[in-house]
Amino acid sequence: MGNEVIAALVIALTGVPALGIAAWSGRDGSAHARGTGLRWALIALCSFIAAIALYFSGGNRSAALAIGIGFAVAVNALAVSMVLHLRRGNDGAPRK
């Protein structure tokens, strides 16, 4: 196995816990819990897409760098979205 296969597998495996957290956090059924679960599921989806893209890049270093930067930007944007969502609370009103 080449390095691109191992790297893609590692990235895909890091998305599995996020998918489990998405299922666990969304089990409450409230709108706030579903929103949190959705954000975790999107983080897992970004991880799986990055792993597939890294696998198909075929060892091209510039493509792997672009995939890594895109993955980091997407996950950080979702993390900021999750923090803002969690700060909003269960009632939907922003905290003061």
Structure tokens at 75: 């996950």
| pLDDT on residue 30 | 81
Do the Cβ atoms of 22 and 44 come closer than 8 Å? Answer: yes
| pLDDT on residue 91 | 66
DSSP state of 29: -
Amino acid sitting at position 74 = A
Is residue 13 pLDDT above 70, yes or no?
Answer: yes
18: exposed, middle or buried (Cβ count in 10 Å: 0-12, 13-18, 19+): buried
Tens digits of per-residue pLDDT, 16-71? 999 999 989 888 778 888 888 999 999 999 999 999 999 998 888 899 999 999 99
- The residue extents of the domains of the chain are 3-88
Is residue 8 pLDDT above 70, yes or no?
Answer: yes
Output the pTM of the full model: 0.85
